[in-house]
Amino acid sequence: MLASFPSIKISVKLVKSSKVKTMKPSWSAMRFVDKASMTRLLSPVYPINKLFPFTQLPHGSPVLGLCQLAHTVKGDVHNLLGDKNVFEDARRIVEMAKRASMRQQVLHTNFLTPPILKETKLVLEKLADIRTIAQGGYPQAELCRLSVGHPEVLTTDPDIIAALSITGNFGFQPCSHGDFLGAILGTGISREKLGDIILQGENGAHVLVVPELVDFLTSSLDKVGNVSVSCKRIPLLALEYEPPRTMAFKSVEASLRVDAIASAGFKISRSKMAGLISSGDVRVNWITIFKSNTMIKTGDIISVSQMGRLKVGEINTTKKGKFAVELITYL
């Protein structure tokens, strides 16, 4: 057993393409080695493919899966990710997936933005013995939680999302998405614990949260804007949602810089928008930006704290070399 060699440092010489290099097997793989194989391993030169014949392992082998995970965590995550801004979050989730596989557990993330969810799933799909399930509470959800685990353990959709109904007299004092978001975050919870907010007009809003915060919010949230509210848990099947209402208009700009496009979309001065950008209140595709010269393209989502968000539609060049930009605001 491995316990018989507590102080031995193992080194194996691997011969490949007439080149010799030293290789240290991972501890997670070494736990599958019997005493006889360990004895042979201690010889000066031993073909490592005989000790760890990965190509002959059956499908679903924990050795193969863990080795692939370790390789990815060490370096391949950075190569696989399309956006370096989400690298740290994705690496953390891959580490979580490694623990889930090793311990035969199912683990869950907080709510993830679409870029982080997309890039993380691209990484995890390349790994053996890992299954992922993304849930946002309803089919059109934008923010989702990701469950990771071994396929033999993660067999059904986990119950990891709760829905709340926030009601009040919003007939004379309508509240925006930002009003509800600000009120909820004002109770002290962090943003990643909160999913989509689905406005219900005069009836308030439906909100997706992590289940462990239901009792706290139902007892703590008593006002949105100037409207007194009550908050209660509802089944996910009771959620009422429809495509968001939007309004589109065109603006002609000399530049596709974010400060120019966003100032036109939110109808504020360019200098004020530049100040919001430098203070970290502006996000493009859910990623905070700090440079006013960030360039915008069709399909980008620009959001500003407490002001809402807009989508960049079709962009055409005018005869004078300017840009006719379609801007779609969410009502």
Distance from C-alpha of 84 to C-alpha of 81, rounded to nearest angstrom: 7
**Predicted local confidence at residue 319, as pLDDT:** 95
Ranges under pLDDT 50 in the chain: 1-82
Domain ranges of the chain: 2-52, 62-149, 162-238, 246-330
**Are the C-beta atoms of residues 321 and 284 closer than 8 Å to each other?**
no
Q: For 162-238, CATH number? A: 3.30.70.330
Q: Using alpha carbons only, give the angle 206, 211, 213 rounded to the nearest 5 degrees.
A: 85
**Predicted local confidence at residue 85, as pLDDT:** 59
DSSP symbol at 163:
E
**Predicted local confidence at residue 84, as pLDDT:** 59
Pick the CATH number of 246-330 from 3.40.50.620, 3.40.30.10, 3.30.450.20, 3.10.290.10: 3.10.290.10
Closest CA to 224 of 178, 193, 164, 281: 178
Q: For 62-149, CATH number? A: 3.30.1370
Give the pLDDT confidence of 189-214 residue by residue, as tens digits: 999 999 999 999 899 999 999 999 99
**Tokens representing 28?**
């997670």
pTM, 2 dp: 0.62
Report how many helices (DSSP H) and strands (DSSP E) the chain contains, helices first.
11, 16
Q: How far is CA 3 from the centre of its chain?
A: 40
Distance from C-alpha of 259 to C-alpha of 302, rounded to nearest angstrom: 10
Other CB atoms within a 10 A radius of the CB of residue 202 amount to 12
Residue the block writes with tokens 């509800």 = 180
C-alpha distances (whole Å) from 257 to each of 28, 264, 274, 275, 282 are: 50, 11, 11, 14, 13
**Predicted local confidence at residue 98, as pLDDT:** 86
**Predicted local confidence at residue 45, as pLDDT:** 38
- DSSP 3-state of 123: helix
**Are the C-beta atoms of residues 2 and 30 closer than 8 Å to each other?**
yes
